Amino acid sequence: MSKEHARLAVLLSGQGSNFQAILDAIDAGTLPAEVVIVATNRADAYGLQRATARAIPTLCHSLAPYRESGRSRADYDAELAQKLLPYRPDWVVLAGWMHLLSMSFLQHFPQRVVNLHPALPGQFPGTHAIKRAFAAFQQGEISETGIMVHLVPDERVDEGPVLATTSVPILPDDTLAALEARMHAAEHDLLVCTLAQVIQ
């Protein structure tokens, strides 16, 4: 999908450091895109403040009201999609979005949902991937971990077609915090580079 500037919808649940990396790359002229909406499932997500500071529209779409009223995850996902569609995103970027998305959402953006996962393909799907990789290293099972960026065509967890990967060695004297910091830096680089490639 080649155009002068791709329209990105960014979904996040926390600090938004990957979202910030996207903004920095846009500012630097290395990512031909604009963020047209930032959505979160958590009202206290710091990523919202990053968006507000840039006058980017924001949306807080909490799951709790759906659970409390007996509505399903499919209802939640379908309504999230309906709230994003008016912004006409070319790509939906899951940048630390801590919900699995069902086909009720994904069907509206076929082959246009991009996820970042802090592990190599087939390793440590789901949550706490860095912590689980560090534990596996301590058990002598692995010597490196990594990052992947992949498409999300369906409801499988961290299994869609891989767009890019990068390996991150685990050093003998690493702490979990040190590994996390190195992983996050690698995430930022890989996500921005991969988005630039898919946009072009």
Task: Evaluate whether residue 1 is within a structural domain.
Answer: no
User: What's the pTM value of the predicted model, to 2 decimals?
Assistant: 0.94
Question: By the 8 A CB rule, do 89 and 37 touch?
Answer: yes
**192 lies in a domain?**
yes
Over its length of 200 residues, how does the chain's per-residue pLDDT go in tens digits?
444 799 999 999 999 999 999 999 999 999 999 999 999 999 999 999 999 999 999 999 999 999 899 999 999 999 999 999 999 999 999 999 988 999 999 999 999 999 999 999 999 999 999 999 999 999 999 999 999 999 999 998 898 999 999 999 999 999 999 999 999 999 999 999 999 999 98
Q: Does residue 94 fall inside a structural domain?
A: yes
Domain range enclosing 185: 6-199
187: in domain? yes
Catalytic residues: 117
| 45 inside domain | yes
Residue 157 included in any domain: yes
CATH number of the domain enclosing 178: 3.40.50.170
Number of domains in the chain: 1
